Structure 1
Amino acid sequence: MAEDDPDTESSTGQLFTLTRVKLLLIVILLVGIAGSGIVRRYLGELGYTVLGELVFVLGYGGMVFTLWYGWLRPMDISGPD
């Protein structure tokens, strides 16, 4: 990783600085968990319970897939040779 990359965390206390990558992660988590949950509740109140459940499952599952595909899949988690 380059020192010029604003998304890398170094020992200079950049752990809590807000970068575009961290902001994107926060938005994906909020939409995937809270957003799909709120839509599910409103659809349930309107009588569309099955549609609400489908929206929640697709929203939450989509969030999990997006986080896996964007952040976890590219990581090299292999042990020593």
Structure 2
Amino acid sequence: MAINEETRQLEIAREVEALTRTLAHSTRTVPNPSESYNLLAELWLTVDHLQQVSQQLAQWHQGGLCCKDWRQSEVGCRSAPIRRLLRNGG
């Protein structure tokens, strides 16, 4: 069962990044080839969840909840690079 961790979103994203980096480095070889099918299945589910996160964040940005113009923010709007990334398919 999924737990709502709204207050830990950035922390969780950092954990996911670290774990996927570790996985990427550890799968240069596959010591037990029969496990590769289960690994692919798990990765498929993970990608599915990450796609949902990306879509939800894109909807949030498109909803005008982020600054529309960099001048509206003291630090400048950071959504333009994200929109470009999402538009180009990641």
TM-score category by the smaller chain?
A: 0.3 to 0.5
RCO higher in structure (CA 8 A, sep ≥6): 1
For normalisation by structure 2, the TM-score amounts to 0.37
